[in-house]
Structure formats: structure tokens, C-alpha cells
Amino acid sequence: MKLELTSALLLPLLAAAVPSTRPAPEHPAAFTVMAARSASPIHFLPMNAAGQSFWLGGSPATYCPLPSDCPPGDKTVLAGSGAALSVVVPGGQQIYVSPEGALKFTQAHSAYIPPGSSYGPFAYVPGAPNQPFGHYNYTGWGASGFMACPTEDENWQVFAALKNATVPSGNVADCLGFSAIAVPSNETGNTWQYT
């Protein structure tokens, strides 16, 4: 599920996502996230929800029980300040940081969050005036944002940027800190539920 995208390809896409003549709203109803870390394999990869975890690249894992008229479920959209996913399923799906430091989301129809998890704070930080995007931030446990950690099957899992995180390779030094670009989206409820 690894995607190699060059900045040459993605910069125009990012610019097109929100017309630059229209500054991003200070408090968008929803946003998507893209990693920025130049000269790295994660530069400009989209953040996706799958398996109750978050990943850079690939695609979201979604489910819709309706026989027809399901929302597209083709991208990962966060709601409000980024403490929840933007979904249709009643009860919603919360975002938290597990005791291991991983960015996680709750299963549909369940409020279960493991004891010792961090509930935030998460924030949508507006960009400079006239900038079409802001940043997604997590500052719980003294963290300053996020990092991506390589897994054995060559994916990048998203963690809070914490020195004491328990990461797939066993060594936090293998992880890459990244800036989480938050692109305001009008696609609230783009997905019934993430799985």
C-alpha cells in the first residue's frame, strides 16, 4: 500500500484542493491530513484510517451497511479539531493516543478506549492569512505533533511524537517526525464508518 508521489505531482494537487484566493477557514468543519517532510519517503503522503490505526499512504478501510446511497468512503476526513473522524455512523468515532503512543480511533458502536490512553489535546492550527491549509497538532504528554514509524511490511504507522513510544521496529530513532498539513474539506460524512 505504499505510494510514491513526487512533490512535483502533489504541489498542484494541494493547491487545487482549496483555491489559494480563498484562505482556509479558522475552524473548518472537517479536514484531510497530508504529511510533509521533505526529502523523505513520506513527503506528501495522505494520512488514512485503517485497522483502528492511522497510516501514511494507502487508502482508508471503510464499511457501509446501507444497500445503496453509501457515501464514497474514499478518503480519510477528520472532524472539527481532529479529535474524531467525520463519519455518518451514530455515535461517531473518536481519535486518541494509545498507551504505546499510537494514534488510534474507536470502533463504530463502541466508546472503548484502553485505560491509560491520551484524549488529546488535538488541534486544527490555522495557517498564515491567505494560506489554503492549516496544521493538525497533538500536544498531549508533552508531544509536539506526530511521527511516522516503519512497519515490517513497509508501511508507515502514525504515532504521537513521543520519545517513549512503543513502535513497530522497537526503535523510535527509526521514526520520521512530520508536519501534518491539514487541508480543509467540505466532505463531512464522506464515510459511513472506518474499520
Ligand X SMILES: *[C@@H]1O[C@H](CO)[C@@H](O)[C@H](O)[C@H]1NC(C)=O
**Total chain residues near ligand X (CB under 6 A):** 12
Backbone angles phi, psi at 9, to 5 degrees: -80, -40
Asked if residue 131 binds ligand X (CB under 6 A), the reply is no
Q: Which of 137, 155, 190, 193 binds ligand X (CB under 6 A)?
A: 137
Q: Which residues within the stretch 169-188 sit at the binding site for ligand X (CB under 6 A)?
A: 186
- Identity of the residue, 42 or 61, whose beta carbon is nearer to ligand X in the bound complex: 42
* C-alpha cell read off for 167: 513502535
Asked if residue 14 binds ligand X (CB under 6 A), the reply is no
Q: Which of 1, 7, 110, 141 binds ligand X (CB under 6 A)?
A: 141
Looking up cell 521533505, which residue turns up? 38
Q: Which of 142, 152, 170, 173 binds ligand X (CB under 6 A)?
A: 142
CA distances from 107 to 1, 23, 147 (A): 22, 34, 23
Report long-range pairs for 88-91 (Cβ below 8 Å, ≥24 apart). 88/189, 88/191, 88/192, 88/193, 89/192, 89/193
Residues that bind ligand X (CB under 6 A): 99, 125, 135, 137, 139, 141-142, 144-145, 162, 164, 186
